[in-house]
Structure 1
Amino acid sequence: MSVLDQIRRLNEKAIVFVIDRKVQQKLALWLQLRYKMPVSIVNGETSAVSKGGSATRRSIIKDFECRDGFNVIIMSPLAVGTGLTVIGANHAIHLERHWNPAKEAQATDRIYRIGQTRDVHVYLPLAVHPDRESFDVNLDRLLQQKTDLKDVVVVPEPVTESEMATAMGIVDEDRPGATTP
């Protein structure tokens, strides 16, 4: 709550990412009571296209962005993975972590878009036990290890042409022992 209170003092907007729909509903109600404003939810139940006048993901986000000053919207990181831009917000709070760090990154990327003019802040609240490694701390460590592994495998260090030729077994016939560039 202290993070949201600070965002309110800055008169900025935040997305709170939550996976569980019951938690989304309870959090929306609690935030509405605390901040005396409507708090929308975008999740798998929210239509991507209009069906008989019902609100769509884009219309809910547009309403969120158009409201002046402080605002909060709750989103499922699973439902907003691709195709949505929410540059009206510049704070992403991952209240409920997803086991796949790519899903978290994809959700955060909703506010890292062309047109974003403000610094973007990402928060990963953790429950910390004074004597033991809490579930949140353990999960955060595991997610970081998965991200580090992905970065090593998917984004290797640059490879020179010579190293590539050697790895492929291509030899320069004009120079014994040399590889073809």
Structure 2
Amino acid sequence: MRFAIRFALASVLLLGSFTSSAESETGTGTLVLDLKPFRSEVALKPKIESQLKTGGIEWGLRDGQMVVTLLNKRFVDFDVNYMTRYGSTQTLQLPAGTYRLTTVGFEPHTGFSVEKVLAKGAYVNPDVLSFTVEAGKTTTMTMEPLIVDEERTLFATFFTPTLFTTVAVEGSADTTAAPAEPVALNVRDERSISWPDYKGPLKFVAK
């Protein structure tokens, strides 16, 4: 019974997979999210690989802020209304301006309550990337999902792709519009904020 509870809690929290506004500019531009097929540096069993191929990322964009979440979106207080599958693209028309991207990540852990699993595994990478949408131009955000390691809990093994991301603006001479190196959106490091310590607006709190 304890095994079932722990595994269920870890599974429900993991997806099958800012308050700042855009600077005011004139006109609209195009944002293309190009999510590449996932790749793996870890040997995967055919059944697991087949399951992963059906996955993707959930994200939302509002008021100059883009949020990508690997945590079940019921725990995220943001309009996460897009699901882009691996190997597909999503195109949006947006007001010209500068946007910032925040990631809500999750590392699988076991526990006897949702609160404990969230406290151990959920975290926020605020403003991990910024990008510009220029009037009349296309901004392409390319995400390369790569499984670099497996994550083991006491009872199960999880495979979560790291989202290596670059941004390019069509015909732009501004080299600052794209990172020099791909940004790993969901890597947990010293800049990440653990779920208990995060006091920002993205944490859903039942009232």
TM-score of the aligned structures, taking structure 2 as reference length: 0.25
Which structure's CA Rg is the greater one?
1
Choose between structure 1 and 2: higher helix proportion.
Answer: 1
By relative contact order (CA 8 Å, sep 6+), the higher-ranking structure is 2
